[in-house]
Amino acid sequence: MKSKLLITFPNSTGDKPIVYNLIKKYDLELNIIKASFDFNFQGTLFVEVDGRSEDIAKALEFIESEGVVADFISSTISVDEKECVECGVCTSACQSQALTLTEDQSLLFHNNRCVGCNLCIKVCPSRAIRNGVISNAI
């Protein structure tokens, strides 16, 4: 099962090898999309996680027991269909092909390809792309 996690580390966990354990103990494949930590080792990690669902569940228990907060991110952005005029200018800003135009010029959002860079939110002239979940965190 593949899912995206936003993991928030309080400064008390800086000395614990949490990511190491996720890989080693729970056999998870981690793909770090974005990470941001300050001098106090306080920060956030946005990762794509791949593994067996029971392992992910156990890993989440482990994370929480360490005092770290993990949230599933189902969608990094959402496109307001009422405001979007489907011009498509976001598609050239989107590096990961998560926003594309179909043959008939409809805008498609491929959630699985989105890496949460939030560039589309900035470039959308209609301000129709919102909920950059990780924009506040990272």
Closest alpha carbon to 46 in 4, 101, 92: 4
Question: Of the ranges 19-27, 44-52, 103-111, 130-138, which one interacts with another protein (CB under 8 A)?
Answer: 103-111
Question: What residues contact 24, with CB distance under 8 A and at least 6 apart?
Answer: none
87 binds another protein (CB under 8 A): yes
Cα–Cα distance measured from residue 29 to residue 82, given in angstroms and rounded to the nearest whole number: 38
- CB of 88 vs another protein, minimal distance in Å: 5
Cα–Cα distance measured from residue 66 to residue 53, given in angstroms and rounded to the nearest whole number: 20
Residue type, 97: Q
135 binds another protein (CB under 8 A): no
- Is-contact 72 8, C-beta < 8 A? no
- CB of 101 vs another protein, minimal distance in Å: 8
101 binds another protein (CB under 8 A): yes
Interaction mask 55-84, another protein, x per CB under 8 A: ----------------------------x-
Residues found near another protein in the complex (CB under 8 A): 83, 85-93, 101, 104-106, 119, 122-123, 125-127
